[in-house]
A = this chain, B = another copy of it.
Amino acid sequence: MATIGGGPPFTGSVSYLLSSLGYLSASGFAASLATVDLEPRHFALLQHISGAEGRSQQELGDLLHIPASRMVAIVDELEGRGLLERRVNPRDRRAHALHLTPKGRRALTKSLTLAGQHEERICRALTGAQRDQLLRLLNGVAADLGLRPGVHPGLTQTHRDCPTPPPA
């Protein structure tokens, strides 16, 4: 398994390929989102608000594992551009209820279109059957590793250790 010196089988490691392709996929999608002046974190928040409107910053931050102090800037940015609004919660006037605006919904729709195009680029080399097969295998690994659907682990904490160099 550990072949020092000789040509290392970079193509023989699932973990290394996942790390490299994952980075490529993430950065490629971020570049695509940048064409509509959004970052992945903004997209993630818009999508989760869309899933259930009216939740507080704290609730969404807990769900996405984004600390409260970071949430402020993200919500500020999106509210400043008119994509969402903070409404007063009559039950608890400390907590803001987050809602998408019509403009925010349009931005989300556009982003989802970009995500679809990105998915097609990533899967361009695969037949339909191969893509299904790949999906099954990846979902199996994801379930085994305890990945929570819809919560990207990279949003959770600071991404300081993202890249993985080639294992044996």
Number of copies: 2
The contact string, 1 if C-beta is below 8 Å from chain B, for chain A 125-168, is 11000110111011111111101011011110001111111111
Of A55-63, A76-84, A88-96, A116-124, the stretch lying at the interface with chain B is A116-124
- How many whole Å from A17's CB to the nearest CB in chain B? 4
Determine the main DSSP class of A at the interface with B. Answer: helix
Contact B131 A14 (CB under 8 A): yes
A interface residue numbers (CB < 8 A to B) = 1-2, 4-5, 7-8, 10-31, 39-41, 43-44, 47, 50-51, 105, 108-109, 112-113, 115-116, 118-119, 122-126, 130-131, 133-135, 137-145, 147, 149-150, 152-155, 159-168
